[in-house]
Structure 1
Amino acid sequence: MPLTPPQDDGWIAFVDESESNPQLDPDVYILAAALVHGTACEKIRAWMGGLRLDGQRKLHWAKESASRRDEIIHAVESLDVLYLVVLLEDISGSTSERRRRRCLERLLWELIQSGVRHVVLEARERTQNKRDLDLLTVLASRHRITARPRVDHLAGPAEPLLWLADVLAGALVASRCGDPGYWERLAVSVEMHRL
């Protein structure tokens, strides 16, 4: 499905990363974005927060049981959210950071073309976050992107909307590793780009 949110400044992209299973699906890097309209953020944030179990800092697909994953997908598939995925299959032996930069460049371009002007990335180490912002500066200076979105880094436990992207990436990894059911339930709302 093409990503066609209305061309207004209200859409926010919440982005998480994943590397696929190194044994079953090696050399794959995924950046997943959940696009939520600003007017729906509070409602969906509360909904996602309600999925967190007692004692959990955040919902994290890789740590959930199969029954919990089914429960999570059931909750997420009914939300008014669009998804964008950039997937890189890289057999060249590039580092994770290099893979991330390639995916982030394409993701930012696609988001900007769709009218998204605010991007929230799950925070990593301070130096890694700076690399993301440096890439944005380089892309803008080289006119590789037509606008400069606001980019924030937030901790996963602090922003439940980031969990949507984690779920999407996890469902895609599961599909690529032989369990397509979760992905099939979300795929109608996903635009995928392969590098």
Structure 2
Amino acid sequence: MAAAICTAEEQERLRAALRGLLLPRQDRLHWRDESEARRLQITAGIAALSAALHSVVVVAAPVPDAKQERARRLCLETLHPALEAHGVSLIVQEQRTPQQNRRDLQMVDALRSAHLLSAAVRVEFAQPIEEPLLWLPDTIAGAAGLAREGHPEHLARLSLAIQHHDVPMR
């Protein structure tokens, strides 16, 4: 999982720049769907924005397919408090199914009950097709995944200040 941190003042400029990376008839950027040439273009475009961004990457790996939701909860357990430590007061996560969103919010409640996340941090959901800022963590996570596989060029190209956390599967 990854998060991209920016100020409220920078959001519109970043959205416009990200939309500018779209190809004709493309409605969103999605790392998994992009060719290698497009990934190079996208990382170059995001690198040009890097002064306005900070990111946090949380990795629980290796993860068997049957443990994906468990790994997600472990990542959220690290990611949300790390974001609050960076001064983030609004976390916008990619919308999934209603049941999956409820589980994510239950995790947020558990973090609050354990005093790992304050009530001042709001968590909302958005669709990537509607919120271009969600394309940033998707790209960062994709580049970080390739770096873990021995291909660090995309992550290095992003030129972002990245705080990396490895989370052991338990």
Q: In structure 2, do the counterparts of structure 1 residues 42 and 93 end up closer, same or farther at CA, with 3 Å as the change threshold?
A: closer
> C-alpha distance in 1, partners of 2:105/2:15?
25
Residue number in structure 2 paired with 1:14: none
Selected match of 2:53 from 58, 70, 81: 81
CA contact (8 A) 1:87 1:193 kept: yes
* One-letter amino acid matched to 1:169: A
| CA RMSD across the alignment | 1.7
- 1:46 and 2:29 are equivalent in the alignment: no
Please, which runs of 5 or more residues in structure 1 have no aligned partner? 1-30
Give the direction of change, closer, same or farther, for the CA distance of 1:165–1:91 in structure 2 (3 Å limit): closer
Of residues 146, 154, 158, the one that matches 2:126 is: 154
Residue identity in the other structure for 2:46: V
- Tell me which moved more, 53-62 or 74-83: 53-62
Instruction: Return the match for 1:144 from 116, 126, 129.
Output: 116
Q: In the alignment, residue 165 of structure 1 is paired with which amino acid? A: P
Of residues 82, 95, 108 in structure 2, which corresponds to 1:110? 82
In structure 2, runs of 5+ residues without a counterpart are none
Say which SS state the counterpart of residue 60 (structure 2) adopts. Answer: strand
1:184 aligns with 2:156: yes
Counterpart residue number, 1:67: 37
Residues in 2 aligned to 1:187 and 1:47: alpha-carbon distance in whole angstroms: 16
**Range 182-191 or range 51-60, more displaced:** 182-191
3-state SS of paired residue (1:89): coil
Structure 1 residue aligned with 2:105: 133
Aligned residue in 2 for 1:123? 95
CA contact (8 A) 1:77 1:186 kept: yes
Runs of 4+ aligned structure 1 residues displaced above 4 Å come to: 90-94
Task: Give the total of aligned pairs.
Answer: 165
Listed one character per residue, the Cα deviations across residues 49-100 of structure 1 (whole Å, up to 9, x for unaligned) are: 1111222221011111111111111110121111100111246776111110
Whose helix fraction is larger, Structure 1's or Structure 2's?
A: 2
TM-score, with length taken from structure 1: 0.79
- Partner residue in 2 for 1:35: 5
1:96 and 2:77 aligned: no
